[in-house]
Amino acid sequence: MSAITMTSATRCAGLLVPVYAIRHDNDFGIGDTLAVRRAIDFCAAHQIAVLQILPIHETIGDFSPYNPISSRALSPALLTLNEDEVPGISMSEIKRSAPDSWLARLREGKVKYNSVQPLKIQLLLGAYRNFTGIFPQVDPLRKNFEEFKVAQDEWLAPYTLFRLLVREYEGNANWMEWRPEHQSRGTAEAWFTRTKEREEFSELRDGYAYIQWVAWRQWRAVRQYAEEHNVMLMGEMCFGVAKTSVDSWTWPELFDLDWSMGTRPISYFDTNKDSERWGQNWGLPPYRWENHRTTGFSWLNARVQLERKFFHICRLDHLRGYFRAYMFPWNGGPLHAEFAQLTEEEVKKRTGGKLPRFVPGPDEDPITAQMNYLQGHEVISTIRKAAGDMYLFAEIMGNMPDYMQKTLEELQIPHLIFPQLERNPDRSLQPIESYRTLSLASYANHDHAPLASFYDHLIEEAKLHPDGTAKIDLHHLLAFVGWTQLPPDVFNDELLRALQQKLFQSPSQLAVLMVSDLFGIPLRFNLPGSYGNDTWSDRLEFAFDEYEKHPVYNRRVQASQLLIQETGRNL
């Protein structure tokens, strides 16, 4: 067990970085479990107690970590491929399938998922064939693999069949477009028992189980490595799963497949414009909580308990959604962009009179607000109990209804605080001293512009529109950190340090810097409402050890470490 654990009395600092964005010399153009270890080394060296990452589950097509094809299968793309990490892998096969010249191209710029993910799966399936040939049934590793399959059969068996069918349909995970006998787990298993290729397909299913076993071993080892270095690993349980997921295919009764989840209309300076008309449409199927309840929330319990295997701390994505879901009668992606151009009457004609709505209902209605409270309290209580000793932080910030605040207090669950969202009626920022101790304070996460971009936007807009809100917000941001000089024309070291210091001075038990806000760079990871091959793919320019050698970034890292010490966040 780690020498440090998160409790309500803990006061420490954290670093947020997506796994895919981290670099090391031998990666495949995407961050992996070895890169996470290098990030743990970096955190340990600079007194950062928590390393926070995004969800690590498998995705296909849409590579958002918040749209997984399985609530429990781990991403093959994030695995380290070498002889130490993958039993049975052949380095000669790696060299043949992924020559140095190609890997050098893959490492340039953004993550190239459509090349990286198939390559890694191909190599891992080849490693499986070697593994079964090299290691006899009596070998401890082989026994461990067989025990893994038995212990995880509830989700692993449907997953391997689903993954086989995705391969048969050339990468199309939309099971609603498959042949009728493949559109449910039951009929697909019946098809599998009588297919002429059963022997070949059985081996392939076993290969997909092997990949998950390798993933399980690597992430368990990452957790142990973090404990050895007195760093707590913080993962995330995304709110939903893809409509084209093995979960909705195996347990369709747990989801409402006719609607899509998202958020009500939002408008920030850097939000996708399609979100302003109707809101964000994630394309995720809403939960049918009444059916979860009849099973004792067994699916949800198992999901939380799996996260507990790999992480000391877990961020609960979109906590508001457990109280009430904002639902669309159309899918996300390109279709949502199309609907964003329509009037309300045009939408009704397309949907048979249906419009986006809250379920159970809006907070403004006292009756439905009480229904929202009862649902959320029950579901979140279930999650909290299943989490056991895994500490939870709830992704819920800004203004929230009284019943949500009540639930956080009743269940003693910390939530997120973003200073720039905690505003008074005059747009001034609420004093740092007012923050709830049970909280995680941060200026940005993957969905937000980093401080460098945010500040430069305020400066530019204040110059273009002297009477606009940007100039007011700029004034309040500088007042928040006690800045008495003229606003700098560009984001600089002094302002970065002042913002970091203020965050670390908060009473929040955990103060987290997104990696961009540690280095003071404009790197952003996601634009809400966006989709396509270029999303969720931006990477750090250097590996962490290179940042430590860089004259500018090393100076900023050292300054941040000193602030951690001065504010008592060093453990």
> Which residues neighbour 145 within 8 Å (Cβ) at sequence distance 6 or greater?
131, 209, 210, 213
Q: Does residue 429 contact residue 353 with C-beta atoms inside 8 Å?
A: no
Query: Residue 24: its pLDDT value, please?
Result: 97
DSSP-derived secondary structure for 229-273: TT-EEEEEE-S---TTSHHHHH-GGGB-TTSEEE-S----TTS-T
CB atoms under 10 Å from CB of 482, counted, come to 9
Identify which of 243, 208, 219, 235 has the alpha carbon closest to the alpha carbon of residue 67. 243
Give the pLDDT of residue 277. 80
Alpha helix segments (H runs only) across 329-365 = 334-339, 344-351
Asked if the bond preceding 360 is cis, omega within 30° of 0, the reply is yes
Query: What is the homologous superfamily of the domain 1-232 according to CATH?
Result: Glycosidases (3.20.20.80)
Domain boundaries, the chain: 1-232, 430-571
**What does each of the 571 residues of the chain score in pLDDT, given as a tens digit?**
456 789 989 999 999 999 999 999 999 999 999 999 999 999 999 999 999 999 999 999 889 999 999 999 999 999 999 999 999 999 999 999 999 999 999 999 999 999 999 999 999 999 999 999 998 888 999 999 999 999 999 999 999 999 999 999 999 999 999 999 999 999 999 999 999 999 999 999 999 999 999 999 999 999 999 999 999 999 999 999 999 999 999 999 999 999 999 998 865 545 555 667 888 899 999 999 999 999 999 999 999 999 999 999 999 999 999 999 999 999 988 899 899 899 999 999 999 999 999 999 999 999 999 999 999 999 999 999 999 999 999 999 888 999 999 999 999 999 999 999 999 999 999 999 999 999 999 999 999 999 999 999 999 999 999 999 999 999 999 999 999 999 999 999 999 999 999 999 999 999 999 999 999 999 999 987 677 777 899 999 999 999 999 999 999 999 999 999 999 999 7
pLDDT at 3: 60
Alpha-carbon distance of 132 to 80, in angstroms, equals 20
Cβ neighbors of 293 (< 8 A, separation 6 or more) are 378
What pLDDT shows up at residue 360? 97
